[in-house]
Amino acid sequence: MWSLAKFVFLCLIAAAVGLAAVSVPVGDRTVADRVRALVEAHAPREEPKVAAPAPRRAPSRGAVLAGDRPPADDHSDEDRAALERLIEQRTR
């Protein structure tokens, strides 16, 4: 019960401080105006947005391995035999 009362009390204090910061003048300006001026003075300047260059297309894996040659469609007898052995091992 006391934690709820403490929470409500702190919320009321925070609201009162916020209202005082924007409405009570200190000198020629309010506290909120002074804080705003400090933030604007130390804020980073925005650079104009420049479009990034278009990314290059990545070479295909086959082109990198084959040295930019298209893959050969004709396989040797040794290649076919090796493939047959691999298929037999996988299907057992």
Hunting for tokens 């297309």 — which residue is that? Answer: 57
Question: Does residue 85 sit within a domain?
Answer: no
Dump pLDDT digits (tens) for 47-90.
888 888 888 877 666 555 555 555 566 778 888 899 899 998 88
Is residue 27 included in any domain, yes or no? yes
Token digits of residue 70: 């298209």
CA 29/CA 31 separation, integer angstroms: 7
Domain for residue 13, yes or no?
yes
Specify if 11 maps to a domain. yes
pTM for the model: 0.40
Backbone angles phi, psi at 15, to 5 degrees: -65, -40
46 phi, psi to nearest 5 deg: -85, 130
Q: Which domain, by its residues, includes 38?
A: 2-42
pLDDT reported for residue 59: 64
**89 is a domain residue:** no
45 three-state secondary structure: coil
Q: Based on the structure, what is the number of domains in the chain?
A: 1
Q: Is residue 71 in a domain?
A: no
Residue 17 counted as domain residue? yes
